[in-house]
């Protein structure tokens, strides 16, 4: 198994992309720390992994709070003894234009979608460095981080920031043998912050279908594995080719 004896943290792991990444990591031998703000969802994912023969534990974590992040990361090292991998997946969206969004809403989206990956990586990387672990970190960005939109003002700003944060993290942590990369989804599974997946949701891409959580999980697993050992600071687009289509050609 690719990840036998290794430990992974996945944020926003109670559903959709985070859930699928957690399941795939566990199926390849990793012990998975399931981070989610929703206690019931996180516990269900962890229980399902254990029932399937894997190793997982749920941690209730509000990633918008630094004290929660510090507590949970410490809890993972106490429970499993090490941290080898981190997937910064948790995010929320605003779906509002600049005149409708409040300052409070703006701050909340940035706290979860941009500041949390900064803090999670900071606390986890400290543990990796202390144990001389050749860690791997994957940030889940978005095509919304590369293009302007007529809504989701805070979300696009946060995801754009996460793209460059990934690059800075990759540079700063490479000296410690820690690789940082990003995956870039577009309309994968259910919309951000929603539990329901609508297979009829319109998509414009070169594949001709909506993306599934498994599509994104496969890419994340690749970047977490030794198969991507020479890939650092990269952004792997998992968008069905939508981002290369010129306006008017679709």
- What DSSP character marks residue 146? T
Q: What is the DSSP string of 38-49?
A: -HHHHHHHHHHH
- List strands edge to edge, sheet with 179-185: 55-60, 31-36, 7-11, 85-88, 136-140, 179-185, 235-238
Task: Give the pairing of strands 235-238 and 85-88.
Answer: unpaired
Whole-angstrom distance, CA of residue 38 vs CA of residue 40 = 6
Question: Can you tell me whether residue 22 is helix, strand or coil?
Answer: helix
**Within 13 Å of residue 109, how many CA atoms lie on the same side as its CB?**
23
- Is 155 annotated as catalytic? yes
Dist. CA 120–CA 69, nearest whole Å: 6
Contact 60, 73 (CB under 8 A): no
Catalytic residue among 123, 146, 147, 155: 155
Q: Which residues are catalytic?
A: 155
């Amino acid at each position: 198994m690719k990840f036998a004896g290794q430990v992974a943290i996945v944020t926003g792991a109670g559903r959709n992309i985070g859930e699928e990444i957690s399941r795939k990591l566990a199926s390849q031998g990793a012990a998975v720390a399931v981070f989610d703000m929703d206690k019931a969802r996180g516990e269900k994912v962890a229980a399902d992994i254990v029932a399937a023969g894997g190793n997982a534990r749920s941690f209730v974590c509000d990633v918008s709070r630094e004290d929660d992040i510090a507590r949970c990361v410490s809890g993972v090292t106490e429970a499993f003894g090490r941290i080898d991998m981190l997937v910064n997946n948790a995010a929320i969206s605003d779906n509002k234009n600049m005149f409708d969004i409040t300052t409070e809403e703006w701050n909340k989206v940035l706290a979860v979608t941009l500041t949390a990956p900064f803090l999670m990586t900071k606390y986890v990387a400290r543990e990796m460095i202390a144990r001389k672990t050749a860690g791997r970190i994957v940030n889940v960005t978005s095509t919304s981080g590369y293009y302007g939109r007529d809504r989701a003002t805070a979300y696009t700003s946060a995801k754009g920031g996460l793209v460059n944060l990934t690059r800075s993290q990759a540079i700063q942590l490479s000296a410690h043998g820690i690789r940082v990369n990003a995956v870039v989804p577009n309309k994968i599974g259910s919309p951000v912050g929603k539990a329901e997946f609508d297979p009829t949701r319109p998509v414009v891409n070169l594949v001709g279908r909506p993306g599934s959580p498994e599509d994104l999980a496969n890419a994340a697993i690749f970047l977490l594995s030794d198969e991507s050992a020479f890939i650092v600071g990269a952004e792997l687009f998992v968008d069905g080719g939508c981002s290369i289509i010129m306006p008017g050609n679709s």
